[in-house]
Structure 1
Amino acid sequence: MHYDVIVIGAGSMGIAAGYFLSKSGKKTLLVDSFNPPHNKGSHHGDTRIIRHAYGEGEEYVPLALKAQELWNDLEKVTGKQLFLQTGVLNVGHEKTNFIQNIISSSKAYSLPLEVLDSSEVNKRWPGIALPDKYIGCFEPTSGVLKCEECIKAYRELAERHGATILTNSKVKELSVNDKRVTVKIEDQTFNADALVVSAGAWSGSLLSILDLNLPLNPVRKTFAWFDANEDLYNYKNFPAFSFETSQGQYYGFPSINGSGLKVGRHDGGETINPDEAIPGFGEREEDTTDLRQFLHHYMPSTQQLKYGKTCMYTLTPDEDFIIDLHPNYSNVAIASGFSGHGFKFSSVVGQILSELIISGKTEQNISPFSINRFK
């Protein structure tokens, strides 16, 4: 069967691309090894943070603002609440690149940001105990995305616009030339004019078939929920947060409808093979000790562990994204290496992928995410 576009990987980026492509009138097939949203990749666990003043670099700010606009649009179209404006508190030493980037990007783009010393943070949010050496940068217009609900929403809309979604289907063979894409799945073969590869931790092995060897490193990550005092930590009073500390980088979420305080460690993690069973939460001692250490230092009012989960990051060497066309095939668009901070951008990345396929270019500046930087 022939399609205009085949999308391999129907997770966050892929399903958004499928929506924008099908909405534009492209006959679109999405293929996924699982059944999105699922717990086999990077974007499960109920919630993800969306930040606008961006500690990873000012080049992300226009994408973050466009992504927020598209998430708001998705809420309007579906009638679902997908975003909670809890605000986001970014904490760290004042002189770190992370904090300096947040402050400078807020000034460059006139974003609302409150810079607070430790005593001001502790007074506003009694559930936090910051030492004197840290400051807090509070973004009141940022917040939390319901990640699995977002994926479901894009999936429903993509199907409504005529996209076909083939789930629990692993790609067995893949070939491409300038005019044709062929994808084989079990005993079925599909053809298309163009291809999108957005397969998360599996992107590296797929792209190697197309003679593109990218430095992608899948790592195991964990996060957990803790019993918490709802008066201190509920989402109407307490923000999502990102902490850069001398012990490591941590992030987390307020208790949403009694879920408990959710915390994860952003840095670290062990390299894994995504095709092999990933050790479950608690099978590594650091799964709990890292999080308990963080809470003991900075949020001592939290109580016992409720439960934890594992997921995967797919890291690039510089921890910046890959969003580009294949250097040898202008009909192949690639989105990968989101390095643990990509979900918030999946709405705009989906739109970018559709633009690259339809016209070969995009309105967004994706030059920082070029494949050529790895040569």
Structure 2
Amino acid sequence: MNYDVIIVGAGSMGMAAGYFLSKSGKKTLLLDSFNPPHTKGSHHGETRIIRHAYAEGEEYVPFVLRAQQLWNELEQATGKQLFLKTGVLSIGQSDSESIHNIISSAKRYSLSLDVLDANEVQKRWPGITIPSDFMGCFEPASGVLKCEACIEAYQELAESNGATILTNSRVKKISIQDERVTIQTDGQTYYANSLVVAAGAWSGDLLSMLDLDIPLTPVRKTFAWFEADEESYNQHKFPAFDFMTPQGVYYGFPSMDGSGIKVGRHDGGLPIHPDESIPGFGELAGDAEELTQFLNHYIPDVEHLKYGKTCMYTLTPDEDFVIDLHPKYSNVAIAAGFSGHGFKFSSAVGQALSNLIVSGKNDVDISAFSISRF
């Protein structure tokens, strides 16, 4: 079976790429080992934060603004609500690099940002308690994406454009000869002119078949929902949040339609191989404790744990993305190593992968995500 493009990995990045490539007229096949959206990747758990004034560096801001534009267009195209403008509150010590990056990127790109001292934060959101040397940066135009619904929306449009999506189809072998891509699964062989690899935690194993070694480390992560006073912590009154504290970096969401406050820790995590059995939430010591300790310290009115889940991050050494063409094969585009902060970008990543395949370049600068830095 012959295609213009085969995409390995039909999660957040791959599904978006499938939409943009099929929209451009490419005969597109998406292969996934599971059935997206699923719990084996980095895209489940109902919600993801999208913030524009970016703590990780100013080079991300044009890319995330493009992503926001594309999410808005996806909502219009499908008639589904995918983005909730809850605002995002980032909190940290006043002299921290992350807070400095948020403020400087907001100034450079004229983004709406309220810079608040500790007293102002606590007055606006009485449920928060922070030390006097902390400050807050509130982005009123940022908010929350419904991550699983986003993938389903791109799937719907990709299929309407003629893309083929084959689930539960694990890739066993990839080879390229004379610029012709051959992919073998358990029962089939597929051929294409071009290839996209966007397989999350499995990307390293797949790229090794193409003689490419990118330093990617999958890690186990946890997050959980907690009972909370709906009057104080609902999505209309309480923002999504990032806390950069001496104890660790934490993120969370207001109670969405009565679900309770959702909290996770961004840094740390247990290195794993994605094919291994990953311990569920609560099976390792400290899963619940590190989240409850954070809440007790900074959002003390939140009540008991409801339930928790696990997911995977795939880390690069610098925790920046990889979005690039293969250094040897110009017909292979790669998206990997999103290091726990990639989902918000997946609309723009999908468009970038499509652009790399169609023209070899992207109209938003992605040079910071080049493979050559390794």
CA distance in 2, matches of 1:286, 1:325: 40
- Corresponding residue number in structure 2 for 1:310: 310
5+ long unaligned stretches in structure 2:
none
CA distance in 2, matches of 1:248, 1:237: 25
Cα RMSD, aligned residues only: 0.6
CA distance in 1, matches of 2:216, 2:239: 32
* 1:179, distance to aligned residue in structure 2 (A): 2.0
How big is each residue's C-alpha offset from its partner over 1:296-315, in whole Å with a ceiling of 9 and x where there is no partner?
00000100000000000000
SS in 2 for 1:44: coil
Map residues 209-288 of structure 1 onto 2, 5 A cutoff.
Answer: 209-288=209-288
CA distance in 2, matches of 1:316, 1:176: 26
* 1:159, distance to aligned residue in structure 2 (A): 0.4
* 1:31, distance to aligned residue in structure 2 (A): 0.2
Map residues 1-375 of structure 1 onto 2, 5 A cutoff.
Answer: 1-374=1-374
CA distance in 2, matches of 1:364, 1:204: 25
How big is each residue's C-alpha offset from its partner over 1:194-248, in whole Å with a ceiling of 9 and x where there is no partner?
0000000000000001000110000000000000001110000000000000000
Structure 1 residues 130 and 178, CA gap change in structure 2 (3 angstroms): farther
How big is each residue's C-alpha offset from its partner over 1:153-193, in whole Å with a ceiling of 9 and x where there is no partner?
00010000000000011001110135210001112100000
* 1:254, distance to aligned residue in structure 2 (A): 0.2
Is the contact made by 1:177 and 1:329 (CA closer than 8 Å) also made in structure 2?
Answer: no
5+ long unaligned stretches in structure 1:
none
CA distance in 2, matches of 1:300, 1:285: 22
Is the contact made by 1:178 and 1:331 (CA closer than 8 Å) also made in structure 2?
Answer: no
CA distance in 2, matches of 1:50, 1:235: 15
Count matched residues.
374
CA distance in 2, matches of 1:231, 1:36: 34
How big is each residue's C-alpha offset from its partner over 1:85-131, in whole Å with a ceiling of 9 and x where there is no partner?
00000000111111000000000000000000111111111111111
Query: For residue 310 of structure 1, what is the amino acid of its counterpart?
Result: T
CA distance in 1, matches of 2:45, 2:244: 22
Query: For residue 286 of structure 2, what is the amino acid of its counterpart?
Result: E
Structure 1 residues 178 and 106, CA gap change in structure 2 (3 angstroms): farther
TM-score, normalised to structure 1, is 0.99
SS in 2 for 1:172: strand
TM-score, normalised to structure 2, is 0.99
* 1:78, distance to aligned residue in structure 2 (A): 0.3
Query: For residue 202 of structure 2, what is the amino acid of its counterpart?
Result: W
Higher mean displacement: 123-132 or 29-38: 123-132
Q: Which runs of 4+ in 1 moved over 6 A?
A: none
Query: For residue 116 of structure 1, what is the amino acid of its counterpart?
Result: L
CA distance in 1, matches of 2:24, 2:148: 24
How big is each residue's C-alpha offset from its partner over 1:271-306, in whole Å with a ceiling of 9 and x where there is no partner?
001001100000112211110110000000100000
CA distance in 1, matches of 2:292, 2:55: 25
CA distance in 2, matches of 1:133, 1:262: 26
Is the contact made by 1:331 and 1:357 (CA closer than 8 Å) also made in structure 2?
Answer: yes
